[in-house]
């Protein structure tokens, strides 16, 4: 049944005036943004196949979904033979959850870079990754410095396009809410309007908006290195799939 549905998707996507459906790689699909992104991609007509690369099975079923269990340090060899057009990265943790700065760096830089290099080897031209507002490799703050180093490393892999989303506090359901997130949920409606001008990028944003913006970045198809914060993330979230051009009937000629 799954293969029949996939064959139908491929046939539809190959008809005139409709862009061909693509293949996507996703890392971090078990997280807040990653889970919402995966649902967004599976519902979108843009992709015929979505590979979710995870450290453990997550028990989700969908005709377009393939779940690959991987070790990110050996990712290139584990997905050898796959071909894809776009890669989405939602990998990340907190220092509290990681337990140390070394473990945090392993998740937020090393694993991301392993994924980026494996995706490039799979033919991916566009890499879309979630970072953080204020990311800067020269920052005195470890978190922002690490995120900045990740951005620089990914940008040097050799993709034709790199889209970096830099949200501030993410709003959305988690199995266990952190104190900052509880505070953010309560006060975001009051604080967000006060963050204007140069402070606007620090507005809290729903994780669902970020997930839709990641797909929007692929649809916008901008080349080169692109960074997005609050306002541009919201704009990307509204980008719709390309619509097929109506088939024009041939004009009648006299004679």
- Burial level of 75, CB count in 10 A (0-12/13-18/19+)? buried
Tokens of 99: 């337990």
- Residue 187 placed within a domain: no
The 10s digit of each residue's pLDDT in 84-135 is 999 999 999 888 888 999 999 999 999 999 999 999 999 999 999 999 999 9
What is the tally of structural domains in the chain? Answer: 1
- Residue 149 placed within a domain: yes
Range of the domain at 109: 2-175+206-236
CA angle 45, 127, 224 (to 5 degrees): 110
Nearest to 38 by CA among 18, 9, 58: 58
Query: Among residues of the chain, what percentage have pLDDT more than 90?
Result: 70
Q: Write down the pLDDT at residue 194.
A: 76
How big is the chain, counted in residues? 255
The residues pairing with 87 across neighbouring beta strands, listed in sequence order, are: 25, 127
d(CA 64, CA 62): 5
Domain containing 219 — which CATH number? 3.40.50.720
d(CA 15, CA 120): 28
- Residue 232 placed within a domain: yes
- Residue 183 placed within a domain: no
Kindly tell me if the per-residue pLDDT of 59 is higher than 90.
no
Output the furthest CA–CA distance in the chain (Å, rounded): 82
Kindly tell me if the per-residue pLDDT of 18 is higher than 60.
no
Helix (H, G, I), strand (E, B) or coil at 224: strand
Kindly tell me if the per-residue pLDDT of 170 is higher than 60.
yes
- Asked whether the beta carbons of 214 and 37 are under 8 A apart, the reply is yes
- Residue 250 placed within a domain: no
The model's pTM is 0.86
Give the torsion sign (CA, 112, 114, 118, 120).
Answer: positive
- Residue 34 placed within a domain: yes
The residues pairing with 163 across neighbouring beta strands, listed in sequence order, are: 128, 226
Helix (H, G, I), strand (E, B) or coil at 75: helix
- Residue 110 placed within a domain: yes
Nearest to 171 by CA among 157, 183, 154: 183
Provide the strand spans (E) within the chain: 22-27, 47-54, 65-69, 86-89, 126-130, 161-165, 170-171, 205-206, 224-228
Which positions are catalytic?
143, 147
- Residue 124 placed within a domain: yes
**What is the Rg, in whole angstroms, of the alpha carbon atoms belonging to the chain?**
20
Kindly tell me if the per-residue pLDDT of 19 is higher than 80.
no
Task: Starting at the earlier edge strand, list the strands of the sheet with 224-228.
Answer: 65-69, 47-54, 22-27, 86-89, 126-130, 161-165, 224-228
d(CA 41, CA 61): 14
Q: Write down the pLDDT at residue 195.
A: 80
d(CA 253, CA 255): 7
Task: Average the pLDDT over each of 129-133, 199-203, 220-224, 234-238 and give the range with the smallest value.
Answer: 199-203
């Amino acid at each position: 049944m799954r293969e029949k549905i996939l064959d139908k998707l491929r046939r539809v996507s190959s008809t005139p005036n409709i862009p061909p459906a693509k293949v996507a790689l996703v890392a971090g699909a078990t997280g807040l943004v990653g889970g919402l992104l995966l649902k967004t991609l599976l519902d979108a007509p843009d992709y015929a196949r979505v590979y979710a690369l995870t450290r453990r099975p997550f028990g989700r079923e969908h005709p377009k979904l393939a779940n690959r269990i991987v070790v990110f340090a050996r990712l290139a060899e584990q997905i050898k033979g796959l071909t894809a057009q776009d890669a989405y990265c939602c990998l990340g943790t907190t220092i509290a959850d990681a337990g140390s700065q070394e473990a945090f760096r392993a998740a937020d830089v090393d694993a991301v870079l392993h994924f980026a290099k494996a995706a490039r080897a799979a033919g991916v031209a566009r890499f879309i990754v979630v970072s953080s507002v204020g990311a800067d490799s020269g920052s005195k703050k470890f978190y922002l410095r690490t995120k900045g180093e990740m951005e620089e490393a990914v940008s040097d892999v050799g993709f034709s396009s790199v889209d970096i989303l830099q949200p501030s506090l993410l709003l959305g359901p988690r199995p266990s809410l952190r104190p900052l997130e509880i505070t953010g949920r309560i006060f975001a409606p009051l604080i967000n309007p006060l963050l204007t001008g140069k402070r606007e990028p620090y507005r809290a944003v729903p994780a669902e908006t970020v997930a839709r913006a990641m797909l929007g970045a692929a649809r916008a198809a901008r080349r080169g290195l692109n960074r997005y914060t609050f306002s541009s993330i919201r704009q990307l979230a509204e980008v719709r799939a390309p619509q097929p051009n109506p088939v024009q009937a041939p004009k009648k000629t006299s004679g």
